[in-house]
Structure 1
Amino acid sequence: MNIVGLRKPGQNLAAPRPGGGTVAAALLTVGLLLTGCTVTSGPGTPTTTATLAPGAFSTLDDAGVEQIKASRTARLDMSSGTLEKAAVNVEASANFGPEINTRGDGKINLTIVGPTGDVTGKTDRIRFNSGKTRTDFSEVTYFLTTDSREEFYGLIRDGVERYGIDKESAENWISSTESDPGDRSDFSITSGYATGLGVNYDLRYDGSKTTQVIIVHVSPAA
């Protein structure tokens, strides 16, 4: 004998069970947690954001550069006094490392760990110089920008305090510029070595423009 269930008036047998949507959402959440994905809520496809593990250092291969751009964080290990190509996954024969450029997308929080202190800054452009016969990079260069003279002077004085950049040279340049703020000047301040690395501030000042630039050159320990 076949038993046929009776349908109540107005009942839709195809309708989902109460709580079914909640169960499905919970299962999806558990699955994502197990795979380590970070989901951004809202319409569209879930996205995964690359992050640098605490205490880890960045690499300069394709994956490392993409991680730097995605996380807006770069951490380089020069605690030994040098940045070795092999340590950042760059070929030994490379003359240069990658140029990392995030202009228009936000600035990178850069940290260079030196033998006796850190070099830090917010930048949207980082470059790496070397040579075919070197196993390390001869220089890491990054760009600092400001939108006011006061902020520009503040960055220069910060470099004096933190990195040992020559104070007299810096203050003389600031005084000269304050007396003629509309002038234009390219000036390299004597390097400082307080972090165990050479840090040089190469000033690019143009009083007719709003944005001013400091090109920071970080070189291996002498």
Structure 2
Amino acid sequence: MKRLALVVLAVPLFLTGCVVPYGGDDSVTTPTAAADGYARLDKAGIEQIKASKAVRLNMSSGRLTKESVGLEDGSSQAPDVQTRDGEMTLDIQGPAGTVSARTDRLRLNGLNTRSDFTEVTYFLTARTLEDYKALIREGVDRYGIDSGSAEGWIESISSRPGKESDFALTPGTSTGLQVTYDLRYDGSKDVQVIIVHVDPVPAGS
């Protein structure tokens, strides 16, 4: 009889269609990626990026809002994502094309009370001068970085590969975003770095 009573008592719960989630009524699940597949940059979202090694940002309007990545509108935020066990795939959707890269470091400058980030920054690396040149020329082809500026620097450093040079190439805007390659070359080091700055295109450009 006790077993029958338990079954009868359980039936109304199934008939009502009421399901209590694991953790109780007060448990809350916060999504770590937007429904459209673009990344969130709150704490949980950053951990997901590190795990998946992939991040997509939506700058199709020409700018990246804090709200679009799960942060409070107007809050002072500077998310910094760094992977130590391999590179992540980065895609930034611009108004007229996509900025794509493999990188181990992504930073966003939002230390202000604006609704958007002023800049997205990521890092490219190469172990040889030839690979470094290839990265630069890829930026010319993909993003419209000035070829004269790029080839002038390449010619200069090729004649003195052991030297050090910090030089920002003339930006490209073919994706509808302003992409600047900030070259940080030091021939005495094993790894060469390009700091890539992605900004909204300045008004009037």
TM-score by length of 2: 0.79
Q: Is the 8 A contact 1:52 1:73 kept in 2?
A: no
Asked if 1:84 is matched to 2:65, the reply is yes
Amino acid at match of 1:136: D
Q: 1:199: how far off?
A: 0.2
Alpha-carbon distance in structure 2 between the residues aligned to 1:98 and 1:193: 24
Which residue of 2 is the match for residue 191 of structure 1? 171
Q: Deviations over 1:157-195 (max 9, x none)?
A: 000011011110110000000000000000000111000
Amino acid at match of 2:45: G
Q: Is the 8 A contact 1:79 1:114 kept in 2?
A: yes
Q: 1:63: how far off?
A: 1.5
Q: 1:52: how far off?
A: 6.7
Which residue of 2 is the match for residue 74 of structure 1? 55
Which residue of 1 is the match for residue 193 of structure 2? 213
Q: 1:210: how far off?
A: 1.4
Q: 1:220: how far off?
A: 1.4
Q: Is the 8 A contact 1:57 1:77 kept in 2?
A: yes
Q: Is the 8 A contact 2:92 2:100 kept in 1?
A: yes
Structure 1 moving runs of 4+ over 2 Å: 51-55, 91-97, 130-133
Q: Is the 8 A contact 2:74 2:116 kept in 1?
A: no
Q: Deviations over 1:101-127 (max 9, x none)?
A: 11x311010000000000011111110
Name the SS for the 2:201 alignment partner: coil
Asked if 1:140 is matched to 2:120, the reply is yes
Alpha-carbon distance in structure 2 between the residues aligned to 1:123 and 1:54: 24
Matched pairs, number = 172
Q: 1:92: how far off?
A: 2.7
Structure 2 unaligned runs (5+)?
A: 1-31
The structure with the largest alpha-carbon Rg is 1
Within-5 A mapping of 1:1-222: 56-102=37-83, 104-222=84-202
Q: 1:54: how far off?
A: 9.3
Overall identity of the aligned pairs, in % = 55
Structure 1 unaligned runs (5+)?
A: 1-50
Alpha-carbon distance in structure 1 between the residues aligned to 2:81 and 2:111: 18
RMSD: 1.9
Name the SS for the 1:201 alignment partner: strand
Amino acid at match of 2:135: L
Q: Is the 8 A contact 2:66 2:74 kept in 1?
A: no
Q: Is the 8 A contact 1:185 1:205 kept in 2?
A: yes
TM-score by length of 1: 0.74
Q: Is the 8 A contact 2:49 2:55 kept in 1?
A: yes
Alpha-carbon distance in structure 2 between the residues aligned to 1:159 and 1:218: 12
Alpha-carbon distance in structure 1 between the residues aligned to 2:62 and 2:44: 25
Name the SS for the 1:95 alignment partner: coil
Name the SS for the 2:95 alignment partner: coil
Q: Deviations over 1:129-177 (max 9, x none)?
A: 0243311000000000111111100000000011011110110000000
Name the SS for the 1:171 alignment partner: helix
